[in-house]
């Protein structure tokens, strides 16, 4: 073995691409390669579909976009004629009339190899079977004399099944020495443990070291947290990159009697509530930045939801790009006014108080003829929220600042938010955060902030906002909990209904009151139309109200809370089963 072959230096470019910004993404790839060259690297690797940005959704079906990606890859390939490191970069790729999710090896001025993703995810937020053709399981690519296996994201995720192409097994059997896995894996709570367990399984079955390179950044509702890592063949951690920030790290692998090994930097893992908070910050930052907004504004109510959103906004953008507006009505308590002012002062944001009584009274006067003889009800009460929404949108139109909406997952689940009022705007950083976690994150932020956060350290949310009972003006001076169960109970029921999709009978059997469960289920169902019209927001759970939970608005099915009937297999003829199996195949 030559001296060169005894060492293999790989640069991991954990970067933040922008979907559709092909030239901008290519420029960042060039900068990463320049750093890799300075580090003496043999190879620089970039995430899945990097040149397009991930996920490109139906944009990837446009021939003009496909051609732009191909041209950028070709130009990057020409760059490698300079004798510097090779590059593995993700890109859409058209071949023989089929579109693939591909990874291209660029080296010595040419496209030296192409590998296609074989296992296409089609669950949750993923929709790749509709977009891409399935690639074959292929052998490793050769880089500087080293055989490198390139399974792409899902190619390592699935367990053995009829639909699963065992790409890792194929690579091991065809002589791969190390596995490099480009990923576009979105953040979700506890995802780090899941990724690690999948990687450990693949290393165990192949006996090969593995590099798991993930992108970072916000893309609409999705947040990619990076947190890339590498494992040696003995399952020891070779390197752990930081989460929620761009990072370029060069790893020096050494050939030993037992294979390739590396000992690189190990950053702490950010997960749990800290991971959720960091995801909310990054998601808002990139939504604002990538869509070109100069800043944001939000209604500051003196309550905990708007307080947490304001802190997230300042951490994401800096105080100078955040504007808070208090819009009090006659039911607004003095304590809310005081707490809102304290919050704005602690965060250092621009803050105004705009009383809305004149506007609300004006609306009521305009409607007085139509409403004559009808009793006052929620209609008049909701005029408060709609007036606030109108005023915030007017400020947004005039200044260009994006409106941040502040509804939490608990209240949006059951419809305790007003359309064209407090649900509408540009983006909602806590859309996937239950109310109980809103309290936890607010307390957390007063003692910790993520790396790179632009807000002040220390207590930024007045303790009184966290500790006093929540109030809401949706029902004038009532609290939400006057008509809903306590948030701890509400969230526990919602988590079972939304994330687990449990039957009502099993929720009741777990100890929850039958009438309360049935009522929450009914509210969840009838609020579907509201959620469809709400602003997009950061996804932090496995199943949020967005890409990966699709329920019809027009829907008459209701779970009656009874035990589920058992299927009678005796009624199904064998011939029917055989026909079904043949059809499925």
For 481, which DSSP code? G
Closest CA to 89 of 67, 109, 111, 68: 111
For 401, which DSSP code? P
Tokens of 209: 């070291």
**In 152-190, where does DSSP find H-type helix?**
167-173
CA distance 189 to 500: 15
Q: What is the DSSP string of 283-296?
A: HHHHHHHHTT-S-E
CA distance 361 to 71: 60
Q: How far apart are the first and last CA of the chain?
A: 48
Q: Which residue has the tokens 């896995």?
A: 181
Cα–Cα–Cα angle for 152, 154, 159, nearest 5°? 130
Helices 357-371 and 378-399 pack at an angle, to 10 degrees, of 130
Cβ(369)–Cβ(262) below 8 Å: no
Tokens of 362: 């004006």
Tokens of 172: 């091991």
CA distance 137 to 129: 16
How many CB atoms lie under 10 A from the CB of residue 423? 23
- Report the catalytic residues: 48, 117, 153
Return the biggest CA–CA distance within the chain. Answer: 94
């Amino acid at each position: 073995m030559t001296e060169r072959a005894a060492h293999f230096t790989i640069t991991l470019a954990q970067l933040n691409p922008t979907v559709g910004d092909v030239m901008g993404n290519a420029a960042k790839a060039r900068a990463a390669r320049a750093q890799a060259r300075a580090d003496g690297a043999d190879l620089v690797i970039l995430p899945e579909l990097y040149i397009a940005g991930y996920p490109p959704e139906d944009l990837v079906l446009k021939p003009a976009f496909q051609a732009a990606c191909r041209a950028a890859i070709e130009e990057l390939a020409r760059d490698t004629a300079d004798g510097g490191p090779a590059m593995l970069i993700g890109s859409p790729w058209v071949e023989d009339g089929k579109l693939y999710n591909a990874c291209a090896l660029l080296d010595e001025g040419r496209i030296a190899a192409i590998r296609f993703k074989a296992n296409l995810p089609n669950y949750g937020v993923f929709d790749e079977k509709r977009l891409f053709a399935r690639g074959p399981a292929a052998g490793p690519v050769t880089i500087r004399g080293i055989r490198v296996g390139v399974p792409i994201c899902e190619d390592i995720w699935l367990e053995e099944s009829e639909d699963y192409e065992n790409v890792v097994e194929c690579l091991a059997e065809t002589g791969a020495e190390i596995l490099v896995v480009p990923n576009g894996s979105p953040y979700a709570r506890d995802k780090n443990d899941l990724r690690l367990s999948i990687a450990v399984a693949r290393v165990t079955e192949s006996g090969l070291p593995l590099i798991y390179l993930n992108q970072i950044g916000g893309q609409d509702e999705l947040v990619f947290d990076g947190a890339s890592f590498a494992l040696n063949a003995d399952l020891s951690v070779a390197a752990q990159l930081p989460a929620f920030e761009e990072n370029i790290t060069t790893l020096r692998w050494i050939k030993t009697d037992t294979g390739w090994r590396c000992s690189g930097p190990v950053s702490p893992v950010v997960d749990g509530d800290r991971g959720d908070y960091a995801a909310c910050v990054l998601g808002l930052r990139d939504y604002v930045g990538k869509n070109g907004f100069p800043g944001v504004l939000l209604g500051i109510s003196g309550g905990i939801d708007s307080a947490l959103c304001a802190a997230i906004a300042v951490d994401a953008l800096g105080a100078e790009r955040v504007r808070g507006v208090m819009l009090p009505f006659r039911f607004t308590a003095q304590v809310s006014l005081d707490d809102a002012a304290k919050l704005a002062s602690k965060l250092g944001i621009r803050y105004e108080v705009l009383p809305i009584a004149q506007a609300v009274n004006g609306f009521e006067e305009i409607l007085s003829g139509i409403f004559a003889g009808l009793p006052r009800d929620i209609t008049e009460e909701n005029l408060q929220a709609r007036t606030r929404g109108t005023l915030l949108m007017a400020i947004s139109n005039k200044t260009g600042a994006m409106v941040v909406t502040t509804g939490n997952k608990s209240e949006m689940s059951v419809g305790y938010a007003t359309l064209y009022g407090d649900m509408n705007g540009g983006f909602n950083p806590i859309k996937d955060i239950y109310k109980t976690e809103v309290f936890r994150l607010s307390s957390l932020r007063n003692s910790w902030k993520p790396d790179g956060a632009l807000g002040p350290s220390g207590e930024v949310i007045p303790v009184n906002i966290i500790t006093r009972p929540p109030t809401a003006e949706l029902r004038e001076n009532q609290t939400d909990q006057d008509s809903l169960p306590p948030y701890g109970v509400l969230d526990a029921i919602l988590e079972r209904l939304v994330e687990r999709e449990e039957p009502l009978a099993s929720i009741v059997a777990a100890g929850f009151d039958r009438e309360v469960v049935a009522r929450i289920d009914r509210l969840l169902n009838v609020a579907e139309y509201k959620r469809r019209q709400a602003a997009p927001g950061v996804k932090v759970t496995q199943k949020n109200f967005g890409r990966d939970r699709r329920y019809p608005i027009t829907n008459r099915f209701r779970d009656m809370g009874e035990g589920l009937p058992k299927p009678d297999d005796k009624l199904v003829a064998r011939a029917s089963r055989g026909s079904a199996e043949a059809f499925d195949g």
